[in-house]
Amino acid sequence: MTDKKKHGIARGLTNYGDADFSLYLRRSFAKSTGLSAEMLARPVVGIAQAAGGFNSCHRHFPELVDAVKRGVLAAGGLPLDFPTISLGEIFLNPTSMMFRNLMAMDVEEMIRAQPMDAVVLVGGCDKTVPALLMGAASADLPAVQLVGGPMLPMSYHGERLGACTDCRRFWAKYRAKEISAHEIEGIEGNLATTAGSCAVMGTASTMAALAEALGMSLPGTAAIPAVHADRLRAAEASGRQAMAMIGTDLRPSRIITEKSIENALRVLLAIGGSTNALIHLTAIAGRVGVKISLDRLNAISDETPILVDLKPTGQHYMSDLFSAGGIGAVMRELKPLLHLDCVTVTGETLGERLSGDTFVDRAVVRPLNDPFQSQGGLVALFGSLAPNGAIIKRSAADPRLFEREGRAVVFTSLDDLAVRIDAPDLDVTPDDFLVLQNAGPKSGYAMPEAGYLPIPAKLARAGVKDMVRISDARMSGTAYGTIVLHVSPEAAIGGPLALVRDGDRIALSVSRRSLELRVDDAELAKRRALHRPVTLDNTRGYARLYLQSVLQAEAGCDFDFLRKL
Ligand code: FES
C-alpha cells in the first residue's frame, strides 16, 4: 500500500528501513498518550494552531482548539493539534513581516511531515492567517481556515474604543498635546480589552475576510467576535468539515484559483481592506502559480465600490459587521462582480453559498447601487519614482492631497526618522512630501509598518492632520492618511526612492495613478553611482536566508524558492 492510500497515523512513516517496524514503533509511542487502538485507527485531522504567550490576540485559542477537536471527534476522526510559530504583531522585532515566511515554511513542512489526512488552520493575528494559507497551499492537503475572530470594542469615557485605529487617533492627539499623559495612560488600558484580533478592518480582519472570500473558511465565520459562542460553534463545524474533506479533491489547489483570488481581491476592495492584505494575497496566489497584476488591481478597484462602513475607512467595528450580516452580506452585494463557480471548502460553489437572503444592517453594509464610497480603497501608482509600483489606500486618505506636487523632505532610514522628525529646526511645511528610504523588504528592517510617518511635532501642534508620505515600508491596516507605500524597487536595492534628496520635487496624481520624481536623468545617474546596496555582512541564520531570498512587494514578499511562479 502506498503512503497515499494509508490514512491517519500510518501516513508518512518515519524511515527506519523497515516500514512495519516504523508503524509498530509509532503506534507504541502514540499509545503512550493513552489513546486506544480504535482511536489510533481513525483518520487524523491535524490542527495547526498559533497560540503562544507572546500573542495576546490568540489567548482564547485553547478553548477554540478544544471546540475543533470536538467537531473532529464527533465526525469519527482523531484530532491532533500541533503548535506553529505564533506571530504576535506587537511583540516581534524588527517586525512580524520578517517571520511570515518562516511561519509559512513551518506550516507547510509540518503538514507534510506529520501523519494527517486533513488540517484545520487556526490563526488570527495579522501575519498568521496568510502564513497558514501560504503553507497549506504549498502542502496541498485538504485544509479549513478557522480564524480567531475580532476583539469587541468597549466603552470608555462615553465612547467606544477598539484597537487599533483608535490607538493611532489618540496617540496623534497626545503628540499634538491635545490630551495629557494621564489621559493617554487611561486609554492605553482600554484599547484592547478582550481576546481576539484588532477590532477594525485592519490586516487581521481583512485576511479573515479574504480567507472566507477565497472559499477556504466556512461561510459566515470571518467576522464572528472572538468571545462570541458562535466562534466556538464555527470551530466545531470546521473540525467536522475537515473530516468531510478527507479523501476528496477539496484541496487548496482546487479552491485557491485565479478566479477565487480575483474574488478575494474584489472583497479586499469592497471592505476597504488593509494594504498589507494585498501583499499577503499576492504571496498566497504565488503559491498556486497565480500572479496578481497591479494593473488588474487598478481596473478592479475602479469598478468595485466600498460597501462597508468600518474603521479605519468609516465608523463601525468588526463586531458591527458581524451583526450586520458579515462577509456573506458583502459578497451577496458583490455577486454580479464575482466568479460564482468557484468551489469552496464545503464542496458547494460560491454561487450556492451566496444563494438566499439574510438580514443586512444597511448602516454597516451598503447596497451595491448605493455604496459607502463609489470606488475601491486601494490603487497602484506607477512612475519614475516607482517603476514596479506603489500602493495608496485612497479610501483612508485625504482627497485634497491627491493631485499635487511637493518638495521632498527625506529621511534616509528609520533611525534618521526617529532622530529628526520632531526636531524644532526640521525644514518642513504642511505642503511638503515626507519621504522615508530604506524601510523595504531587503533594508535590514524587513519592511516594517513604518509608512505611517508621524506628522512632525511642530506641524502636529499647529493642527496639521495629514501630509503626503512616501516610503518602501508598509502601513498598519488600522492606519489612515495620504500615505504611499510599498514603493518598488525599494531603496535598499537601488530603486529610484534611494536617489531622492531633500528639496527634490515629487508629483503625485492618484487620478492618473502616477508618482514621478522630477529630477533629470543626468543628476539621477550621478546619485545612482554613489549608491551602496545593503550587504549580507554580519547576518546569519534566518535573517540571512530572508535577505537573500525575499522578493519585492509586487511579488508578495515571498521567498523566491517558495513560489510556484
Ligand atoms: Fe493582533 Fe492586531 S495586533 S490582530
Instruction: Write out 444-473 in H/E/C secondary structure.
Output: CCCCCCCCCCCCCHHHHHCCCCCCEEEECC
What is the distance between the alpha carbons of residues 231 and 238, in angstroms, rounded to a whole number?
10
Establish whether residue 166 lines the binding site of ligand 1, counting it when its CB lies within 6 angstroms of any ligand atom. Answer: no
CB 199, CB 320: distance < 8 Å: no
Looking from the CA of residue 56, the nearest atom of ligand 1 is 1
**In which residue are the cell numbers 530604506 written?**
438
Model confidence pLDDT, tens digit, residues 264-286: 999 999 999 999 999 999 999 99
Q: Among 565, 20, 50, which residue's Cα sits nearest to residue 293?
A: 565
Residue 563, all three cell numbers: 513560489
Q: Among 85, 106, 80, 107, which residue's Cα sits nearest to residue 239?
A: 80
Ligand 1 centroid distance, CA of 538 (Å): 31
Ligand 1 centroid distance, CA of 198 (Å): 5
Task: Report whether pLDDT(77) > 60.
Answer: yes
Ligand 1 centroid distance, CA of 472 (Å): 22
**In which residue are the cell numbers 504549498 written?**
138
Establish whether residue 197 lines the binding site of ligand 1, counting it when its CB lies within 6 angstroms of any ligand atom. Answer: yes
pLDDT band at 476 (very low <50, low <70, confident <90, very high): confident
Task: Report whether pLDDT(4) > 70.
Answer: no
What is the distance between the alpha carbons of residues 128 and 325, in angstroms, rounded to a whole number?
25
What is the distance between the alpha carbons of residues 240 and 141, in angstroms, rounded to a whole number?
16
Q: What is the DSSP letter of 395?
A: G
Ligand 1 centroid distance, CA of 89 (Å): 6
Establish whether residue 198 lines the binding site of ligand 1, counting it when its CB lies within 6 angstroms of any ligand atom. Answer: yes
Establish whether residue 151 lines the binding site of ligand 1, counting it when its CB lies within 6 angstroms of any ligand atom. Answer: no
What is the distance between the alpha carbons of residues 350 and 292, in angstroms, rounded to a whole number?
21
Q: Whose CA is nearest to atom 3 of ligand 1?
A: 89
Model confidence pLDDT, tens digit, residues 178-234: 999 999 999 999 999 999 999 999 999 999 999 999 999 999 999 999 999 999 999
Give the CA count within 13 Å in the CB-facing half-sphere of 274: 29
Q: Whose CA is nearest to atom 2 of ligand 1?
A: 198
Q: Pick the more confident residue, 522 or 164.
A: 522
Q: What is the pLDDT of residue 534?
A: 81
Residue of 96, 198, 476 to test ligand 1 pocket, by largest number of atoms within 8 Å of CB? 198
Q: Give DSSP secondary structure letters for 109-130.
A: HHHHHS--SEEEEEE-STTHHH
What is the distance between the alpha carbons of residues 550 and 489, in angstroms, rounded to a whole number?
13
Model confidence pLDDT, tens digit, residues 113-157: 999 999 999 999 999 999 999 999 999 999 999 999 999 999 999
CB 70, CB 143: distance < 8 Å: no
Establish whether residue 333 lines the binding site of ligand 1, counting it when its CB lies within 6 angstroms of any ligand atom. Answer: no
Ligand 1 centroid distance, CA of 433 (Å): 29
Establish whether residue 318 lines the binding site of ligand 1, counting it when its CB lies within 6 angstroms of any ligand atom. Answer: no
**What's the rounded mean pLDDT across residues 490-503?**
98
Element (H, E) at 208: helix 203-214
Ligand 1 centroid distance, CA of 126 (Å): 6
pLDDT band at 176 (very low <50, low <70, confident <90, very high): confident
CB 551, CB 486: distance < 8 Å: no
CA angle 267, 253, 477 (to 5 degrees): 30
pLDDT band at 2 (very low <50, low <70, confident <90, very high): very low
Q: What is the pTM of this model?
A: 0.96
Q: What is the pLDDT of residue 478?
A: 75
Q: What is the pLDDT of residue 377?
A: 87
Looking from the CA of residue 478, the nearest atom of ligand 1 is 2
Q: What is the pLDDT of residue 1?
A: 41
Residue of 126, 165, 206, 280 to test ligand 1 pocket, by largest number of atoms within 8 Å of CB? 126
Establish whether residue 125 lines the binding site of ligand 1, counting it when its CB lies within 6 angstroms of any ligand atom. Answer: yes
Q: Among 80, 67, 354, 74, which residue's Cα sits nearest to residue 230?
A: 67
Residue 344, all three cell numbers: 469552496
Model confidence pLDDT, tens digit, residues 196-206: 999 999 999 99
Phi, psi at residue 550, to the nearest 5°?
-70, 140
**What's the rounded mean pLDDT across residues 350-376?**
95
Rounded to an integer, what is the distance from CA 428 to the centroid of its chain? Answer: 33
What is the distance between the alpha carbons of residues 209 and 268, in angstroms, rounded to a whole number?
8
Model confidence pLDDT, tens digit, residues 28-40: 999 999 999 999 9
Establish whether residue 204 lines the binding site of ligand 1, counting it when its CB lies within 6 angstroms of any ligand atom. Answer: yes
pLDDT band at 361 (very low <50, low <70, confident <90, very high): very high
How far apart are the two ends of the chain, measured CA to CA in Å?
33
Task: Give bridge partners of residue 434 from the DSSP assignment.
Answer: 409, 469
CA angle 292, 296, 298 (to 5 degrees): 120
Residue 493, all three cell numbers: 536595492
Establish whether residue 126 lines the binding site of ligand 1, counting it when its CB lies within 6 angstroms of any ligand atom. Answer: yes
Q: Whose CA is nearest to atom 1 of ligand 1?
A: 125
Phi, psi at residue 297, to the nearest 5°?
-55, -45
Q: Among 499, 533, 529, which residue's Cα sits nearest to residue 517?
A: 499
Residue of 125, 166, 449 to test ligand 1 pocket, by largest number of atoms within 8 Å of CB? 125
In this structure, the strands spanning 386-393 and 483-488 are: antiparallel
Q: What is the pLDDT of residue 3?
A: 53
